[in-house]
Amino acid sequence: MADMMDMEGTNGRRVLLCVSGCIAAYKACEVLRGLQKAGCDVKVVLTEAACEFVGPTTFEALSGHEVAVDLFDYGPSAIPHIQLSDWADLILVCPATANVVAKASQGIADDCLTSTLLAATSPILFAPAMNVRMWQNAATRANVETLEARGIVFVMPASGRLACGDIGEGKLAEVETIVDRALSMLDATQSLAGRHVLVTAGPTHEPVDPVRFLANASSGKMGFEIARAARRSGAHVTLVCGPVSLPDPCGVDVIHVTTAAEMLEASSEAFQSCDAAVLAAAVADYTPTNPSDHKLKKRDEALDSIPLTRTKDILATLSKTKGERVVIGFAAETNDLVENAREKLTTKGCDLIIANDVSREDSTFGSDTDAVTIVSTDGAEELPTLSKREVAERIVEMVSKMIAAKGDATC
């Protein structure tokens, strides 16, 4: 079934509702409606056991999206656990059975729901429901503690008469309590809601002839992580990327380009409606002056030179007209990191430079980590070696604060 619902009518907040097998599964329908009324777009994952209580048809009709149950049978994607966990701004497990709590605490991923939880990077909220003895069992207590220690949030079950007739703790919390908690978690992570952020990523390819080009070793990973982090913070993101072998991030407008000139054109257009731009692309500084329209044949003698022309600097061009926009650039350096970054800050006219020492193994092109120094007119702050995802989150946090500060200054 194709998705019936687009983002119209939602405020861009995406909740993945994971329902496990418990009599309280019917309450998940009310939770879904409550989230939709608050403007959220909701997709649903069910365990096989949940289907015994409320079937996928009900959740499909309510959510307007195909429901994922089977890891190997989900129309919109061959890898539902990755695609759905990537899509979500918040994952809500409601009701969460003792079994799902246990599996999540141990990192077991033996179905679509638990695999999605293991692949998740967005905040997770559990709303457990089970028999009082199961809830109070030392194993469940330890599992809840483990998950809380990892930052997973719980809406604790209420006390009352349970489906089995027992009286005690284990009743799913009130629907409104669960919805409110989900919304407050979403608000806490939506620092860029209503903002438009432009990100550039990857290398550019400058043609020499139809089969050859000048390029560099940029993987595009940093820019893609920034685009994802900005999206998770609620921004509308336009990602202009050169040739990379990465899948398009979910929920982001991706414009694929090849050359520096194309990147400049696409970025300049998107910049018009932006609040911030983070230019992480490793744009070629030179392009062949007269690219051949046919394949160049080799000759016996040496090829002494290929005439090259300077490309236009996208960062400097956008910075000239930035007005109140926040503009952040990168500097890939092998020596004199801070001095070179300071010079770029001045000559290119942006607000910040993220300086990256690409001579280090933990910070080079293609690595999954970066050791960056943030250079502004106020000074330089060296960050420890972090994953690219963490660096991206720090950058997006700075973007949010800088946009807020500029807003305050103009008030």
Binding mask 298-317 for ligand CTP (x = CB under 6 A): -------------x-xxx--
Binding mask 226-265 for ligand CTP (x = CB under 6 A): ----------------------------------x-----
Residues 173-179: contacts with CB under 8 Å, at least 24 apart: 173/127, 175/27, 175/30, 175/31, 175/34, 176/34, 178/31, 178/34, 178/92, 178/94, 178/125, 178/127, 179/31, 179/34, 179/35, 179/38
Sequential DSSP letters for 22-38: STTHHHHHHHHHHHHHT
Asked if 283 is part of the footprint of ligand CTP (rule: CB under 6 A), the reply reads: yes
Residues in Cβ contact with 174 at an 8 Å cutoff, skipping those fewer than 6 apart: 158
Q: How far is the CB of 329 from ligand CTP (least distance, A)?
A: 3
Residue (181 or 342) nearer to ligand CTP, CB: 342
Q: How far is the CB of 57 from ligand CTP (least distance, A)?
A: 49
Distance CA 35, CA 153 (A): 17
- CB burial string 63-88: b at 16+ within 10 A, e below: bbbbbbbebeebeeeeebbebbbbbb
Residue (208 or 352) nearer to ligand CTP, CB: 352
Binding mask 20-59 for ligand CTP (x = CB under 6 A): ----------------------------------------
Query: What is the torsion angle, in degrees rounded to the nearest 10, for the CA atoms of residue 193, residue 198, residue 199 and residue 200?
Result: 170
Q: How far is the CB of 315 from ligand CTP (least distance, A)?
A: 4
Cis, peptide link before residue 203, omega less than 30° from 0: no
Which residues from 321-360 bind ligand CTP, rule CB under 6 A?
A: 329-332, 344
Q: Is 112 in the active site?
A: no
Q: How far is the CB of 257 from ligand CTP (least distance, A)?
A: 12
* Residue of 40, 112, 164, 241 with catalytic role: 164
Pull the structure tokens for residue 122. Answer: 């967005």
Q: Give strand pairing partners of 203.
A: 282
Q: How far is the CB of 272 from ligand CTP (least distance, A)?
A: 17
Asked if 201 is part of the footprint of ligand CTP (rule: CB under 6 A), the reply reads: no
Asked if 120 is part of the footprint of ligand CTP (rule: CB under 6 A), the reply reads: no
Q: Which residue in 29, 279, 398, 399 binds ligand CTP (CB under 6 A)?
A: 279
Distance CA 388, CA 364 (A): 11
Binding-site ranges for ligand CTP (CB under 6 A): 200, 260, 279, 281-283, 285, 311, 313-315, 329-332, 344
